[in-house]
Every structure is written in C-alpha cells, then in structure tokens.
Structure 1
Amino acid sequence: MNRLPSSIVADASVVAKWILEESDSERAKIVGIGRTLLAPEFLLVECANIFWKHERLGGLGAGRSVDALAIVQKAPFLWTSDADLVDDACRLSSDLKHPVYDCLYLALALRRRVPVVTADRRFAALAQKHGGMAEHLIALDSLA
C-alpha cells in the first residue's frame, strides 16, 4: 500500500468491500486508512445499487442496504459533483470505449492527479491498453 499517494479516488468496487465481506475486503479497508478519499457523487448511487443487489440475493440482511449506505455517507470523502465531471467522463468513455459511470472516477483522478483504486479488473486493465493510464488506474489486487 505504500506505493499509493496520500490522496486517492476510491471507486464503488473498493468502497463496497469496506462493508461487504468479499475477497480483498481487508485490503480495501487498508487502502482508505490515512488517505484523503476523493469521489464523484455517483459513488453513493453505485454503492446503493451494490448493497441492494446483495440484500436481494441474501448476502445482506433484509433492510440492511440503507444501513450500509449510511456508512458510506459518513465516510470522510471529498465529494465532487457529477455535473462537474460528466463532460470529461463522456470524452474518456468515448476514447476508452468504457462506460461513462466508471469514467467519472477516472475523470476525477485525472483532474486531481491521483490514482483510482478499483477492484474492477476490466476497468483496471484499461491502464495496460492505453498509454499513460497506468499511474491513474490501480487494481486493488495488485497492492501488497
């Protein structure tokens, strides 16, 4: 984890692991300790959807998705309005041929010159395909 800077963008695939017991949950929790956490507001919607899916499939107790979301809302994020990022995210999405909602995280990371930490292997793989992205997209499972 020591290769990470003091500020990072944490995407929903990492943040959800803070609450849900999944592979790499411990690693995801450590990533956030002692760092400035940046996120687009969309993180809340994406986490809410992840928690709802887990509740619906029985991985989270009935009615617990709201409690899980409250934990995320109380986390010490520095939020950026999606409206401030969406133009850049659309351009990135077009260039990378990757969904706009993921590109919101990347747009914020590029703007703030910090990496996105993600557990989404497909998203992290963009760094290998597109030059200059390696420092901005870091796979959670690549961190020691």
Structure 2
Amino acid sequence: MIRVVDASVLIKAYVPETGSEAAARFFAAMDGGEVEALAPDLIYSESGNILWKKVRRGELTAGEAREISAAILGLPLRVEPGHVLLPLALDLALSCGVTVYDALYLALACVHETTFVTADRKLVLALEATDFRRHVQDLE
C-alpha cells in the first residue's frame, strides 16, 4: 500500500506528543513492508523547520534536533521533486483554500491515486468539504 506522508507525521514518530503512537504504528508498517511512504522533497525543509521551532521553544535540545534530523534523512521515503507537482498544487491550493505547501502533499496523493496521511487536523477539516477528502487521512 502506498501512502503520502507529511512532516507532521515524521516529527511525531520521534518527539513524544499527541499522535506519537499512531506515527510509530505507521512507521512500523513501513518498516514491515506493508506501507511505502511517498513525500514531496519539501518534507525535509518542513521537518527541519519544525525541529528548529521546537528547539526555540525549549521542547528539544539542539543535539536532539540534529539526531532526529539525521534519522529522518535515513528513512526509506520515496521522495519526488516538488517543482513537478507545483502546477497541480497551486490549482489545489486555490480551489481548496489550503497552502501550496500542504497542496504539494495532496497533489502527490492525487497523482498516485492514494491517501495523504497527516497529523494536521485543521488541514483534514479544510479538505473534508472538498472533492479531495478521499485523498486525506488524519493520522489518528
């Protein structure tokens, strides 16, 4: 089974917080070969930014953030270039009222006719009223 995964899910796999258990299950399924995870290349920048914010807020040390960053880079993600997805992502962002960043993940899910797994509840709710709701799944 192929699933698109976003940075919110990656971070929850490494930082204990709400949704961490569900993220751990997702990655266990990936490790077991049950799930192949896809992501736009934006996932690395977004993950790094989330880690930076957590260090700034005192939720992680710089060393912990570096360790998590290295672990994320070692994940067997199938990463696709965002620039190829940009035209579709922009159209999706404009029609669904979401950011282009979020729409890149949605575009990838649409192209591969699969589901985009996210821990971003606001995004899930924003897409519930659209024709694209079948392409998004709340991590929980």
Deviates more, 1:54-63 or 1:73-82: 54-63
Partner deviation per Cα, 1:54-96 (whole Å, 9 max, x = no partner) = 1111111133322211111110000100111111111101111
Asked whether the 8 Å contact 1:19–1:68 carries over to 2, the reply is yes
Tell me how far apart the structure 2 counterparts of residues 70 and 135 of structure 1 sit (CA, whole Å). Answer: 32
What is the root-mean-square deviation in Å for CA atoms of aligned residues?
1.1
The amino acid of 1:52's aligned partner reads W
Stretches of structure 1 that go unaligned for 5 or more consecutive residues are 1-5
Matched-pair identity in %? 33
The amino acid of 2:17's aligned partner reads E
Tell me how far apart the structure 1 counterparts of residues 57 and 96 of structure 2 sit (CA, whole Å). Answer: 32
CA shift, 1:125, in A, is: 1.2
The reply to whether residue 10 of structure 1 matches residue 5 of structure 2 is: yes
Tell me how far apart the structure 1 counterparts of residues 101 and 127 of structure 2 sit (CA, whole Å). Answer: 17
Within-5 A mapping of 1:1-144: 6-32=1-27, 33=29, 34-131=34-131, 133-141=132-140
Stretches of structure 2 that go unaligned for 5 or more consecutive residues are none
User: SS of 1:63's equivalent?
Assistant: helix
Deviates more, 1:68-77 or 1:36-45: 68-77
The answer to which structure has the higher helix fraction is 2
Runs of 4+ in 1 over 6 A off after TM superposition: none
TM-score normalised to the size of structure 2? 0.91
TM-score normalised to the size of structure 1? 0.89
The amino acid of 2:114's aligned partner reads V
